[in-house]
Amino acid sequence: MDVGTASMEDCAEPEVNAAVTPDRRVIELKGLVSAETVTPVIDQLQNAQPAEKLLIYIRANGGGEIRQLVLLIQALGTTQADVELAIGRYAMSAAATLWLWFLLDPIPGDDGVGRVVSVDPLKPAVLLFHRPRWPHASGGEYYCFYEDFEEESVRENLSKQVAIFDSLFERILALQGFGQVHAATVKHDGATYKHHLHFARDAYYGNNDYVISLNGVAA
Amino acid sequence: MKSLVASELRAKIDESRKPNASCGKDFTLARVRSFQDADLKLQEACARLGIDKPHMIASH
């Protein structure tokens, strides 16, 4: 993990893909969401002064362990700091979930104490979101989804955990007007066309990846 | 695929927020508790079954 102060020089690729004031300390969450990368961030959130300005920069992050993600979200929900969350050019899976979480449910705080918000990227960015999955114990080449577990007591509790992520996804679709789509498909000139949000829904619940392209705010 | 603008999504979120809805902090911590409660029950269920607790990931 790298810790430093952001400098916003006029260059093609910003050092941090977000507008950062000089008094905000940048903490990188780079590469993976794991105990190794998350624990130091949690320590800093827990030890921060009231309204201390921090920016957690999710840089080139491919996601990782959901348990660690939840511990980080818990630390963000209880910190005294004033925290902004920014993404680099892409964030995948657990990393995308972290940014989307505080976009959908920012914590306003009180005069900066306990404020946690996701901020816009300067340059375009891509988020990749999918349902949580479970890797085979012997390696990362095989994985399954909660409905693939045979034991009802296991499946039931996994389902409760997955429901939190499903809810995030449904809210993202709703914000894009999913409820106002008049038909999932339309026919025209001998072809059937499906609405892009229905394609997105099929992808997510079919345990495939859903890609969100974000515009940057820089000119 | 349409590109989204975070600030526009944020404006829609603000518009759709119900006046009595719990604030982001309460909602966040409630979901964290819900996840961790289920995790504890999952651990107990796996112990009864004599299997390893499955390790949930979201990664690429």
pLDDT per position as a tens digit, A136-154: 878 778 999 999 999 999 9
Q: Output the pLDDT for position B59.
A: 85
pLDDT of residue A11: 45
Note whether residue A42 is domain-resident.
yes
Q: Which of B24, B51, B56 sits opposite A105 (nearest CB)?
A: B24
Residue A23 reports pLDDT greater than 60 = yes
Please report the residues numbered 121 through 140 in chain A whose beta carbons come closer than 8 angstroms to any beta carbon of chain B.
121, 124, 128, 130-135, 137
Same domain? For A123 and A166 the reply is: no
Domain assignment present for residue A219? The answer is: no
Same domain, A182 and A103: no
Write down the ipTM of this complex: 0.91
Is the predicted pLDDT of residue A219 greater than 70, yes or no?
no
What CATH number has the domain bearing residue A112?
3.30.750
Distance from the Cα of residue A177 to its chain's centroid = 20
Q: Are residues A100 and A182 in the same domain?
A: no
My answer on whether A120 and A144 are in the same domain is no
Average pLDDT, stretch B26-51? Answer: 96
Structural domain includes residue A125: yes
Q: Which of A58, A126, A150, A161 to mutate to test the interface with B (most CBs of B within 10 A)?
A: A161
Percentage of residues in chain A having pLDDT higher than 90: 86
How many domains does chain A contain in total?
A: 2
Candidates A175, A198, A212: best to mutate against B (most CBs of B within 10 A) is A175
CB-side exposure of A55: number of CA atoms within 13 Å?
A: 24
As a whole number, the mean pLDDT across chain A is: 92
Distance from CA of A27 to the nearest CA of B (A): 21
pLDDT band at A183 (very low <50, low <70, confident <90, very high): very high
| Same-domain pairing of A87 and A103 | yes
**Closest Cα in chain B, distance from residue A63 (Å):** 4
Domain co-membership, A106 together with A145: no
pLDDT of residue A9: 43
C-alpha A158/C-alpha B55 separation (Å) is: 10
If asked whether residues A179 and A142 sit together in one domain, one would say yes
User: What are A200-210's pLDDT values in tens digits?
Assistant: 999 999 999 99
Rg (CA), chain B: 18
| Residue A140, domain member (yes or no) | yes
The residue ranking higher by pLDDT, B52 or A48, is A48
Q: What is the mean pLDDT of residues A183-194?
A: 96
Which residues form the domain of A69? Answer: 3-131+210-214
Q: What single DSSP character describes residue A112?
A: T
Q: Are residues A45 and A60 in the same domain?
A: yes
A127/A139 same-domain check = no
Query: What are the tens digits of pLDDT across the range A80-100?
Result: 999 999 999 999 999 999 999
Check whether residue A100 and residue A23 sit in a common domain: yes
d(CA A22, CA B49): 54
Same domain, A115 and A157: no
Q: What is the DSSP letter of A85?
A: E
Give residue A4's pLDDT.
47
Considering the domain architecture, whether residues A43 and A54 belong to the same structural domain is answered as yes
Cα angle A99, A38, A7 (rounded to 5 degrees) comes to 65
Task: Please check whether residue A85 lies inside any domain of the structure.
Answer: yes
